[in-house]
Amino acid sequence: MLKSKASQTSIEQRNTTRMRVLDHIRSRDSVSRIDIASALQTSPATVTSATADLISAGLIKEVPGDPPLKSSKRGRPRVLLQLDGGSYLVAGLKVARHAMSVILVDFQGTPLASYNHPLADAQMTPEVFVRTIRDALQEASAQIGKTLEDLSGVSIGIAGLVDAENNFVHWSSSLTERNIDFGQILPKEIPCPAFIENDANLVAKAEQHFGYGKGLKNFLVVTIEHGVGLGIVLDGQLYRGERGCGAEFGHAKVQLDGALCQCGQRGCLEAYVGDYALIREMTVVDQNQNPRTVADIYDKARSGDVMAASVLGRAGQMFGLGISNLINLFDPECIILSGGQKGLEHLYSDEVMTRIRSGVVNVDTPLPEIKVHHWGDQMWAKGAAAYAIEQVSILKVKDIPAHAS
């Protein structure tokens, strides 16, 4: 039987309330019903109903609070609510050039297992890509005596243009094909709900949950590794754009008809700043130079190699230009430069800061804070796991039967 519009609206309202209550409990270690009602400015009866539903779905549990003071009129000990960590096992997975990093966490985000799955090829067909994800998840699950069937959800972070809402990847440097509907392909190999998302957005999520973005309303995360990514958090929410391609900072043009980018266009920022661009540039200027990593270029520059210093210097200048544009566009509280590679010094030097300052149009207030955060692929995967917990929560809340409250 079709539900009436009015009852549909009331179901949506009830789910929104449940999610607000769940998010509030997640943001605290443990909290009482009365404190939730007061924080969310809603009635105790509404909170009691929502928490009963969340307990029945296994998302939260009751725990004893401190015993009441002798002087207190209340005789009963306080009951607090917290996330039920053991209820669901979720996975976060980050696809890098040489490996897929997996982290398994409980529902409170506590890491239970981690695994790095080496990749034979940096670019894969969608079918090989999904099979490799399955293998990596199996290996990680086996570490704690679990199987794929024990997972309640997995989130996959990938570089490129991703429509996260529809599990659709328009383009990624990890894939041999464009416009792949992973909503169709992932269920063939992965038995649990899977959510694919732009990797820089997942780093922004990780920064918001566990890093420098905690407590900030408006901040940007610039990721620098093989390419250059951007995560935008505005008013506490991740901004994805209308088609999921709203933060392609790496493909912002910094040079008319400039260097060839891996996206196929010319003059993109990452064609000057990304790992591959620096290594390519070194090889172009001197055939005898054969750096394999950015760390090699650093070592050369440090030992007085003028060419290496000049390649890093140009990258810094282009980067400074890009960052000043971001400040002009967003006026953020903070910009977090996040990367796993050794050394971001050339992107954080005094020369780059001068370049940023000279490109920022508001000269009357100090620059937003610019922080550098080094973290490895496991931290990217942790951001993916945080996203998986969020998405599994939404699915479980939707699954609560209508008669539960």
Asked whether the beta carbons of 359 and 321 are under 8 A apart, the reply is yes
Using the minimum distance from each CB to Zn ion, give the nearer residue, 175 or 381: 175
Q: Work out how close the CB of 20 gets to Zn ion at its nearest, in angstroms, rounded to a whole number.
A: 39
Judged by CB, which is closer to Zn ion: 260, or 395?
A: 260
CA distance 246 to 227: 16
Count of residues in contact with Zn ion, rule CB under 5 A: 5
The distance of closest approach from Cβ of residue 230 to Zn ion in the complex, given in angstroms and rounded to an integer, is: 13
- Rounded least distance, CB 261 to Zn ion, Å: 3
Q: Please, which residues bridge with residue 125 across strands?
A: none
In 211-264 the beta strands, taken as DSSP E runs, fall at 219-224, 228-234, 237-239
Rounded least distance, CB 277 to Zn ion, Å: 10
Output the six-digit token pair for 252: 């912002």
Spatial separation of the C-alpha atoms in residues 131 and 289, rounded to whole Å = 37
Q: Residue 124: CB partners within 8 Å, gap ≥ 6?
A: 132, 174, 175, 176
Q: Pick the piece of the chain touching Zn ion (CB under 5 A) from 157-165, 215-223, 251-259, 366-374.
A: 251-259
Bridge partners (DSSP) of residue 243 are: none
Only one of the segments 3-11, 100-108, 260-268, 392-400 lies at the binding site for Zn ion (rule: CB under 5 A); that segment is 260-268
- Closer residue to Zn ion, CB minimum distance, 116 or 201: 201
What sign has the CA pseudo-torsion 370, 375, 378, 379?
A: negative
Contact between 393 and 19 (Cβ < 8 Å): yes
Q: Does 261 bind Zn ion (CB under 5 A)?
A: yes
Give yes or no for a contact between 229 and 203, defined as CB atoms under 8 angstroms apart: yes
Neighbouring C-alpha atoms within 13 Å toward the C-beta of 198: 32
- Interface region with Zn ion, contact rule CB under 5 A, candidates 19-27, 112-120, 243-251, 381-389: 243-251
Q: Which is nearer to Zn ion, 96 or 261 (CB)?
A: 261
Q: Are 257 and 271 in contact (CB under 8 A)?
A: no
In the list 94, 251, 382, 396, the residue contacting Zn ion (rule: CB under 5 A) is: 251
SS3 string, 86-143, reads CCCEEEEEEECCCEEEEEEECCCCCEEEEEEEECCCCCECHHHHHHHHHHHHHHHHHC
Between 168 and 249, name the residue whose CB sits nearer to Zn ion: 249
Touching Zn ion, residues 267-296 (CB under 5 A): 268
Q: How far is the CB of 172 from Zn ion (least distance, A)?
A: 12
Which is closer to Zn ion, CB of 212 or CB of 249?
A: 249
Residue span 5-24 as binding mask against Zn ion, x where in contact by CB under 5 A, dash where not: --------------------
Joined together, the tokens standing for residue 13 give 């309202």
Applying CB under 5 A, the span of 114-122, 128-136, 246-254, 308-316 interacting with Zn ion comes to 246-254
Here the tokens at position 310 are 């000049």
Residue closer to Zn ion by CB (options 36, 230) is 230
Query: Which range touches Zn ion (CB under 5 A), out of 118-126, 188-196, 220-228, 263-271?
Result: 263-271
From 130-138, 197-205, 261-269, 312-320, span contacting Zn ion (CB under 5 A):
261-269
Interaction site with Zn ion (CB under 5 A): 251, 261, 263, 265, 268
